[in-house]
Amino acid sequence: MKNKILLLGLMPLMAFGQQNVHIPAPEKSPEVKDNGTVVFRIKAPEGKEVKLSGAFDGVTPSRSTYEGGEYVFAFDSVAPDLYDYWFEVDGVKTLDPSNPYVARDIAWLSNIFIVPGGNADWFATADVPHGSVHKNWYRSDMLGGEERRMTVYTPAGYEESGETYPVLYLLHGMGGDEDAWGELGRAVQILDNQIAAGKTEPMIVVMPNGNALRNAAPGFTGDGMYIAEGEHSIDPEKIFVKSFPEIIEFVESNYRVKADKAHRAVAGLSMGGGHSWQLGLRYPDTFDYIGLFSPAVRWNGAGVDENGDDTELIKLLERQFANPPKKYQIAIGRDDFLYGINESYRELLDSLQLPYEYVESEGGHTWRNWRNYLVDFLPALFRNP
Amino acid sequence: MKNKILLLGLMPLMAFGQQNVHIPAPEKSPEVKDNGTVVFRIKAPEGKEVKLSGAFDGVTPSRSTYEGGEYVFAFDSVAPDLYDYWFEVDGVKTLDPSNPYVARDIAWLSNIFIVPGGNADWFATADVPHGSVHKNWYRSDMLGGEERRMTVYTPAGYEESGETYPVLYLLHGMGGDEDAWGELGRAVQILDNQIAAGKTEPMIVVMPNGNALRNAAPGFTGDGMYIAEGEHSIDPEKIFVKSFPEIIEFVESNYRVKADKAHRAVAGLSMGGGHSWQLGLRYPDTFDYIGLFSPAVRWNGAGVDENGDDTELIKLLERQFANPPKKYQIAIGRDDFLYGINESYRELLDSLQLPYEYVESEGGHTWRNWRNYLVDFLPALFRNP
């Protein structure tokens, strides 16, 4: 018997996976150097043309070489941030074969990497206590009686503490779903890192699917592996906003939360900024902290009638600000295509002498801005409840 | 004031995302037809050579065309299953630009799709009640005092029922992590679908990270975005298996479970099969259901000394089977490179007259087999506790 035994401990380390494990390309790509230089490498022995796209589209590399069948693109002095990119090989979009880090925007995949420093240090996974992330399903009677998916972040220590926590509802844009703030927004890392640093209060963060026409991210709906094409509803008031109490009820029934206005916040980007704006108007006693990031505000049907008459909106605003939220923030980039409607909305708030904070940044309607807005918004929440 | 209002409801639907939303390539790829034909399409106007790899590597298409800058590969009579694939464009690995469904195996990304029918129907997301998926962190004093990540599935209705549930611990192989059974193993879909069909008991499924040298999947460790290279420990007894009670304790403290042998199962593939095998031996009163899928059994240090003497293993087996588990199953493919050691292990069990079930399938050390083994293993669990 003994001499039949195969001593597995002596087998080469990779033998376990020989039939199912692929080893990534040996190229290190991207290589992020301490001096801010970023180097991309791709083996393309037969490639006629390789182009770098995404955040680096149209940016001329500091150096580029083609040697031994490998393209190398180096960019110097890259500012700290999270970047997305992909290659085009002979005109075909190609994810970097050496980089397994991929983020999804609806049905579009990009590689990502981080250049450390500044706010980007909040985006990185660090050796700090980590919160848990839950993918839950809740039933929505208002949205067809179907089950809908939400992502819930509970802070490190939640399991053991027995305590109750405040809640931030964090809403995605039209081009997103319940995974968006986690994947592209780095919300989990930002929360973990800011809470560990004592910069932000431990809180629960709820990221529901805000697309009234879909109940979950691609691959998690009854449609199976459908290809999402951004077919979101733009009628938030009548659908998603009205169904929001179902989300709050699910969260408050299933998580240990402080269930009052002083311990609820809502923030969102673009369409989710519009949702947050409407949630503030429609439920004036529910949220004490409201963050509108590049928000789709002041539209037809949301307190503004089809002729542009905002009498109803003004009434709602006056009701909301009779007992004003502790924080009401609008953040937008100077190049954002929603800048104009936000400017007119701010004029309306000014004319009504309603208090709000305003953050104006460089850039446009981008995740780069939304990550930074979240970094700046979180530390103010629930500090003086 | 009124004439300044921009009526957002009139904006084109995609305008919200114009600066950050990409639309996938209009090609439908893959197209899975009712008759079992699968069509792949990729625009490669400047491509010299496009090859289809992965599950279709080396398989000759039934038809292929190149027209108008688009390659089309059609395969007829594709058997029901979940398949992985990717393209090579002029020698460069390229994920299908039209298919956002990607699964990760360590650091290797592939596109996936499903041809419905047979067991593959368990793999698809269906319109059934869905369980929740939790990414938790638990502290392991035995593994350096660090926090380690695990995936926990709770069945549909868990939140509301107030009931306690049995638990399956489901372990990955050397080429895997706490995401593997979910991503490549389709465990979440299989559980949702089988529970909804009444074929499998509602249960909690715990998928910890079994790599003693890493505490989490790539991107979730303090190493940040490291590139995993399959550097797993092959000494399960001394490290991961010994630390397993910490996992059970975390689960039983944080989830509503039935905490006895009759309501605990453990199963795993390859290295995780070895872990499951050892867990049965080392904790004979803990698990009543043991599933060994292509398991790495009977190695040096795990009851077998460096000279191949298995006296200690036999003692452990006799202790375990003095009060035998209700189900002890070995499943392996005829082409599996671990077939030999499993054959010798079965001979040992036979010589000791210890009862076990044996499943021998076609094929080798593949996720295709492991998904099927799971489909067949689950319905027997916790039926007659």
- Interface check for A60 against chain B (CB to CB < 8 A): the answer is no
Pairwise pLDDT comparison (B98 vs A294), residue with the higher score: A294
Q: For the CA atoms of chain B, what is the radius of gyration? A: 24
Q: What is the pLDDT along chain A (385 residues), one digit of tens a residue?
A: 233 223 333 233 333 333 344 555 557 899 999 999 999 999 888 767 889 999 888 888 999 999 888 899 999 999 999 999 999 988 889 999 889 899 988 788 999 999 999 999 999 999 999 999 999 999 998 888 889 999 999 999 999 999 999 999 999 998 789 999 999 999 999 999 999 999 999 999 999 999 888 889 988 887 766 665 555 455 555 678 989 999 999 999 999 999 999 999 999 999 999 999 999 999 999 999 999 999 999 766 667 777 778 899 999 999 999 999 999 999 999 999 999 999 999 999 999 999 999 999 999 999 999 999 999 999 999 986 5
> Which of B16, B25, B92 is the closest to A270 by Cβ?
B16
SS3 A345: helix
| CA–CA separation, A358 and A349 (whole Å) | 11
- Interface check for A322 against chain B (CB to CB < 8 A): the answer is no
Q: How near does any CA of chain B get to the CA of A29, in Å?
A: 10
Name the closest residue on chain A to residue B296, using Cα atoms: A8
Contact between chains at B22 and A271 (C-beta distance less than 8 A): no
Largest Cα separation within chain B, whole Å, is 91
Of B329, B334, B330, nearest to B361 (Cα)?
B334
Which pTM does this prediction carry? 0.91
Instruction: Please state, rounded to an integer, the average pLDDT across all residues of chain B.
Output: 87
Q: How confident is the model at residue B108 (pLDDT cuts 50, 70, 90)?
A: confident
State the best of B8, B215, B297, B300 to mutate against chain A, taking most chain A CBs within 10 Å: B8
Q: Using alpha carbons, list the distances in angstroms from residue A40 to A83, A184, A191, B175, B306.
A: 13, 21, 30, 26, 46
Residue B138, pLDDT > 60, answer: yes
- Interface check for B22 against chain A (CB to CB < 8 A): the answer is yes
Write out the two tokens for B372: 């099927």
Write out the two tokens for A230: 């951004």
- Interface check for A25 against chain B (CB to CB < 8 A): the answer is yes
Which B residues 118-177 touch A at CB under 8 Å? 124-127, 129-137, 147, 149, 156, 159, 173-175
Mean pLDDT over B316-326 rounds to 96
What is the model's pLDDT at position A356? 98
Contact between chains at B175 and A16 (C-beta distance less than 8 A): yes
Share of chain B above pLDDT 90, in %: 68
What is the model's pLDDT at position B8? 32
Q: How confident is the model at residue B2 (pLDDT cuts 50, 70, 90)?
A: very low
| CA–CA separation, A115 and B357 (whole Å) | 53
What is the model's pLDDT at position B14? 31
What is the model's pLDDT at position B20? 41
| CA–CA separation, A87 and B356 (whole Å) | 52
Contact between chains at B222 and A174 (C-beta distance less than 8 A): no
3-state secondary structure B275-318: HHHHHHHHCCCCCCEEEEECCCCCCECCCECCCCCCHHHHHHHH
Q: How confident is the model at residue B368 (pLDDT cuts 50, 70, 90)?
A: very high
A133 interaction partners in chain B (CB closer than 8 Å): 134-135
Which A residues 197-216 touch B at CB under 8 Å? none
> Which of B156, B159, B309 is the closest to A254 by Cβ?
B159
Neighbours of B246 (CB within 10 A): 17
What is the model's pLDDT at position B22? 53
B347 interaction partners in chain A (CB closer than 8 Å): 1, 4
Query: What is the CA angle A124-A130-A133, rounded to 5?
Result: 100
Contact between chains at B310 and A5 (C-beta distance less than 8 A): yes
Highest mean pLDDT among A310-319, B9-18, B323-332: B323-332
Contact, A156 vs A195, CB < 8 A?
yes
| CA–CA separation, B81 and B361 (whole Å) | 15
Contact, B122 vs A123, CB < 8 A?
no
> Which of A11, A93, A105 is the closest to B20 by Cβ?
A105
Name the closest residue on chain B to residue A368, using Cα atoms: B20
One-letter amino acid of A251: V
> Which of A49, A253, A306 is the closest to B46 by Cβ?
A49
Q: How confident is the model at residue B237 (pLDDT cuts 50, 70, 90)?
A: low
Rounded to a whole number of angstroms, the distance between the first and last alpha carbons of chain A is 72
3-state secondary structure chain B: CHHHCCCHHHCCHHHHHCCCCCCCCCCCCCEECCCCCEEEEEECCCCCCEEEEECCCCCCCCEEEEECCEEEEEECCCCCEEEEEEEEECCEEECCCCCCCEEEECCEEEEEEEECCCCHHHHCCCCCCCCEEEEEEEEECCCCCEEEEEEEEECCCHHHHCCCECEEEEECCCCCCCCHHHHCCCHHHHHHHHHHCCCCCCCEEEEECCCCCCCCCCCCECCECCCCCCCCCCCCHHHHHHHHHHHHHHHHHHCCECCCHHHEEEEEECHHHHHHHHHHHHCCCCCCEEEEECCCCCCECCCECCCCCCHHHHHHHHHHHHCCCCEEEEEEECCCCCHHHHHHHHHHHHHCCCCCEEEEECCCCCHHHHHHHHHHHHHHCCCCC
- Interface check for A278 against chain B (CB to CB < 8 A): the answer is no
| CA–CA separation, B133 and A135 (whole Å) | 5
Write out the two tokens for B212: 């003693």
A11 interaction partners in chain B (CB closer than 8 Å): 234
What is the model's pLDDT at position B205? 98
What is the model's pLDDT at position A304? 74
Helices assigned H by DSSP within chain A: 120-123, 158-161, 180-183, 187-196, 242-254, 271-282, 311-322, 339-351, 367-377
Please report where in the chains the tokens 């998690």 appear, as a residue: A220
Pairwise pLDDT comparison (A330 vs B59), residue with the higher score: A330
What is the model's pLDDT at position A337? 96
Write out the two tokens for A264: 């609820």
Contact between chains at A91 and B47 (C-beta distance less than 8 A): yes
Q: Mean pLDDT lowest for which of A133-147, A291-305, B115-129, B329-343?
A: A291-305
Helices assigned H by DSSP within A43-186: 120-123, 158-161, 180-183
Q: What is the per-residue pLDDT across B143-193, written as a single tens digit (0 to 9) for each?
A: 888 899 999 999 999 999 999 999 999 999 987 899 999 999 999 999 999
ipTM of the complex: 0.89
Of B359, B144, B161, B384, nearest to B288 (Cα)?
B384
The size of the A-B interface in CB pairs under 8 A is: 340
Contact between chains at B135 and A136 (C-beta distance less than 8 A): no
A92 interaction partners in chain B (CB closer than 8 Å): 42-44, 47, 50, 87, 89, 94, 97
What is the model's pLDDT at position A18? 35
Helix H or strand E segment including A29: none
